[in-house]
Structure 1
């Protein structure tokens, strides 16, 4: 059991899960606002031996150096790699600090967002139809950049509605091949697809000037990641054509200065946040704590 567990910012657990945290520590402190800077984060952690945080704060080496008691950090958000994490995992591990994260808790909502916006665009619900006449997803050439869990789910949903699916990933995936999805080099995928969905880890940029030239005109681009998948200058040049870009959040788009661009559709709502998302998040966060401490709660 921990002596003191501190959530340095809102961690979006359901009430029963918040109550469950008391099974793992003698003292539990939950902050309900986002800390303003490293100094405030350091003060909040204090002498705690366990820290929880979401995705809105950075927990780096300068803070951890001042918090010698920390031995466990629970990321109540997605953890895919040290490079994309908002915790300095390599430094933490060098100190013997265990860092855990979660995955696959908000993907269902992201899939619904992509299908919803794409249907509205193609059919012209509340807007002009993309092709000038309503059309279905059936027969659409759809490309997925990054075939992880969310990318795979989007591919499955598009195929369910009749799209022809291609994908680019680090390598060809047998499961995707069995479903009939084509593995293509990135440039080929961009040039052949009518709709491209980027489903990449935070801070992964794959679309540069050459890639936007391959993508070409009269295309629809979705970004479901937490940060832009592109360099901004060629992205803006590409938007100058007959193209559209869909992002659910400002972070995925690249900044508020792009919100008023006539070719951008950003609803400024995280599509992966729902009642079910918080249920899954809570279960996984408590599961990580149970695995680390050996304490099981009902």
Structure 2
């Protein structure tokens, strides 16, 4: 069995690695390497498709799904944590009997490298700013991780190699790790650096939490949305000695414009986890999902 029509609705980054395989799985393949600007454009691109491939950048709303009656499968070329954090309206897809699948852990290695690269640059003053008056090492620094999933644990393990003191807060305490679990308020008070690894649209830090975190600290966020309240962050980041590190995927254009002249707000111009290596891993996981959907429909 083949799909009738696969449409890659925006730039997913996978075509370079699996174009021929995608062609072999359908009668018609259409690939777009930009980002649609409206729902109408998405609906037009996806007309008569039974498979839609989409990155994390493009919302596939209930209205879009309602207007695509031939759709059988939406392949998210990104992580799918839950309905709340997804850029695809999972509830509407279920109502129409459309299968939705995402992938996981394709970009984690790149994020870990980014995290420690930026932290070391800041500690040693290798960029335009330096955390303390004298350069320091990672050893002995208290690192707090909010969200100890696969990526959070990779961050923890690397920090352990650097002889950092590792603490974490998670929805549930993990019994399979040796790192110390702390309530979020104690974690913030204890740690010099806090990094958040949470699903999109998950906000855990507000005025109260920033007050507990205090000053002379570093906040890192590489998720697909801010893990903090913007107004509270604005107040905290203006205090002396505070720094924040972001990759571009965790900020909006408005946010980047607002803080572009803040030397203590360091924003990478790249998506830290979207390396060539990650795109290749992503591509093969997307194909794996497609093949399994074909098999399930055939059976």
| Same topology, TM > 0.5 | yes
Partner of 2:221: 223
Deviation at 1:262, TM superposition (A): 3.0
Partner of 1:210: 208
Partner of 1:246: 245
Q: Which runs of 5+ in 2 are unaligned?
A: none
Q: Which runs of 4+ in 1 moved over 6 A?
A: none
* Structure-to-structure mapping, 1:138-177, within 5 angstroms: 138-176=139-177
Partner of 1:255: 255
1:189-213 alpha-carbon deviations (Å, 9 max, x no partner): 0010001111111110000110000
Q: Secondary structure at the match of 2:251?
A: helix
Distance 1:267 1:47 in 2: 39
1:9-67 alpha-carbon deviations (Å, 9 max, x no partner): 11111434121111211111111221110001011111111111111111111111111
> Does the CA-based 8 Å contact 2:101-2:289 persist in structure 1?
yes
How many pairs does the alignment contain? 292
Distance 1:13 1:128 in 2: 36
Partner of 2:13: 12
Q: Secondary structure at the match of 1:294?
A: helix
> Does the CA-based 8 Å contact 1:14-1:278 persist in structure 2?
no
Partner of 1:105: 106
Q: Which runs of 5+ in 1 are unaligned?
A: none
Distance 1:111 1:42 in 2: 37
Partner of 2:290: 289
| CA-based RMSD | 1.5
Q: Secondary structure at the match of 1:174?
A: coil
> Does the CA-based 8 Å contact 2:223-2:249 persist in structure 1?
no
Q: Tell me which moved more, 120-129 or 68-77.
A: 120-129
Give the TM-score of the pair, scaled to structure 2: 0.94
